[in-house]
Amino acid sequence: MVRIKQGFSGSRDIVLPPYVIDIYSTDALLSALHITDIGHYPVADGHYVERRQGIAQFVFIYCVEGAGMYWIDEQEYHVHENQCFILPANCPHRYAADEHHPWTIYWIHFGGSLAPYYADQMQAPLDIRPEIDSRISTRTHIFEEIFQTLHQGQGLQQLHYASCLFHYYLGTLRYVNQFRQTRDDDSVANDVVAAAIHFMNENIEKHLSLQHFADYVGFSASHFSHLFLARMNESPMSYFNRLKIDAAAQLLEDTDMKINQISFKVGFEDAYYFSRLFTRIKGKSPKQWRKDER
């Protein structure tokens, strides 16, 4: 029995058809690691999935905001923002968004001979927290490149490229310390404003306040705001919103995502407010921006 509650405002998903999945077993690269389903569910209120017999694929879920819970053979786990986990294949499981603070998740169903290797030790929640050397935005870009590759087509070259990217994506999680250590920028660690901007970019999809940024750098809100304004000639919250709108503008140019999907992607649940803010900062509406810039 399978029970699924899905279909959320701003959600995106791709389910690869059976004729594509049939290719996997006969292809050397795809038989090692392949994706069967992929998606992004923002603020997934009421999200619930129950599979009493499990499924043939492993299920990867990355909670970037909110909270949820899941059960594997009736063992209960709780997951919060900046955590991910992998449900084992062919194993009964359930998962659900928190009732009061529903999660925003990236998710991927995958298989292949190397899938158990990547899933090893990922059954319990793994912390992926924004820190001075974190590269969360880089990982998110990899996910989006996988999604866009499969959205544009599912020919053999696209499937191969998506598989290669997915190896990299999972590697950034299994070897998270090594992934972070390749980032070499001492200026961020020694500069309060640069550190705050890095934190903003790592949390571009979230609803954060001035106090979040001040707490991150260890200053009072008023003192941090004064330092930031003196350096950047812009308040922290104004700068954060501009980063969000810049990211949205890039998505309008590079993808076919709907405007409400982009709104959720950069942390605005109210698409009308997002459109007004976008128009104020960019001088034209999201729709007009896409028309003019593509």
Parts of the chain with a pLDDT under 50? 1
**Of the options 3.40.710.10, 3.40.50.11540, 3.10.270.10, 2.60.120.280, the CATH number for the domain spanning 2-181:** 2.60.120.280
- The arrangement of strands across the sheet holding 12-15 comes to 12-15, 34-41, 104-111, 58-65, 83-87, 126-127
Q: What is the CATH number of domain 186-293?
A: 1.10.10.60
Domain edges within the chain = 2-181, 186-293
Query: Tell me, what amino acid is at 268?
Result: F
pTM of the model: 0.84
User: What pLDDT shows up at residue 25?
Assistant: 87
User: What pLDDT shows up at residue 209?
Assistant: 93
User: What pLDDT shows up at residue 1?
Assistant: 44
- The arrangement of strands across the sheet holding 48-51 comes to 2-5, 48-51, 93-97, 67-72, 75-80
User: What pLDDT shows up at residue 176?
Assistant: 87
